Amino acid sequence: MKTIDELLSEGVDGKRVFVRADLNVPLADGLITDDGRIRAVLPTVKALADAGAKVVVASHLGRPKGAPDPAFSLLPAAERLGELLGAPVAFADDTVGPAAHDAVDGLQPGQVAVIENLRFNPGETSKDDTERGEFADRLAALADVYVGDGFGAVHRKHASVFDLPARLPHYAGYLIATEVGVLKKLTEDVKRPYVVALGGAKVSDKLAVIDQLLDKADRLLIGGGMAYTFLKAKGHEVGISLLQEDQIPAVTEYMERAEKNGVELLLPVDVLVSPEFPDLKTKAPANPTVVAADEIPADQEGLDIGPRTRQLYASKLADAATVFWNGPMGVFEHPDYAEGTKAVAHALVETPGFTVVGGGDSAAAVRILGFDESAFGHISTGGGASLEYLEGKTLPGLAALED
């Protein structure tokens, strides 16, 4: 895999460089609530612009259905990129049409343009190789060189991620190079104890990575909505908590394997419960109750790990040499259910070992809850991509960058 440093050494002055970024930022009423993914691609964009490239930045945002939708426009991301660069950024309101060509043709060396949401074109996400390839051909007409730096999308076999690199000289940007280096530390020659904290809503999203980690990790700490399927598998009442009953056989097997392999698999010992899900808009007080994990009332829902579990998990993270955390411990968006996630984040900050926050909601939680990002070893920009890498899958976007 060639890197951007090799490209810069070859010279990019006056060349049109297509940067596949991940500007898939969360929006609320048209305003960006977390610009972490934009800031993550800045080093690559700035290095190219400083070297005299004509930089064409492209990304998806959300899940529009293959047609323009103002709710998913990249304009706010383009404006924020310009603010962070301290320079104007041109914006094209189409992907491969006249506006895109005009924006690119109008660039001077060192300038940057952003084209509209790639998913406004059905060819971007098509499962038909021909349709995807045709869109990639039209994107290739906008550039001389390709730089892949959208780590959050490398697990997708999409036109701009998989097909376009085959049509242009291709290189990995700084973000992808960093992400891959970090993931290798979690899979090759891992420093121990290796502790993994997994949360989030659905256990089905994490089964494949748990399967791999049972042969690699020393401890697994389970929280979030997925924990209730584990608790149910142990025979406990979970009330109206999130439950994937069809996953109980797999969860049971993994708990047995963990014991056999000598892997500590820890579940919550107490939880915060309530008869109803909290209002995340008004954030009105929810007044939860703390109960033992095996005493959840039949009419109550578990929404966060309790104080004893927070202490337990912190103690299991304290001596870790390597930590991977993916998924919040509770409904962290509401202040009454943020303490579990906050406790795990704080434990990672205090841990002397190498700590990785695995993207997605975990990365958002770190920022929303006010933690200094530099206190963690690495905050990934791609939750799904990180998990699939750890599962041992081949990621299309990484494979496409290899020669």
List, by residue number, the catalytic residues: 37, 202, 360, 384
Q: What is the DSSP letter of 159?
A: I
On whether the CB atoms of residues 112 and 90 are closer than 8 A, the answer is: yes
Closest CA to 62 of 2, 124, 133: 124
CB neighbours of 207 closer than 8 A, spacing ≥ 6?
A: 247, 250, 251, 254
CB neighbours of 87 closer than 8 A, spacing ≥ 6?
A: 49, 111, 112
Closest CA to 226 of 330, 142, 93: 330
CB-CB neighbours of 321 under 10 Å: 15
Q: What are phi and psi of 198, to 5 degrees?
A: -120, 130
CB neighbours of 118 closer than 8 A, spacing ≥ 6?
A: 58, 59, 60, 95, 124, 158, 159, 160
CB neighbours of 230 closer than 8 A, spacing ≥ 6?
A: 203, 222, 251, 255, 267
Position of tokens 């999130």? 242
Q: What are phi and psi of 270, to 5 degrees?
A: -150, 155
3-state secondary structure of 333: coil
3-state secondary structure of 228: helix
Closest CA to 255 of 210, 295, 217, 224: 210
The answer to whether the Cα torsion of 102, 108, 113, 118 is positive or negative is positive
Sort 41 into a burial class: Cβ within 10 Å, 0-12 / 13-18 / 19+. buried
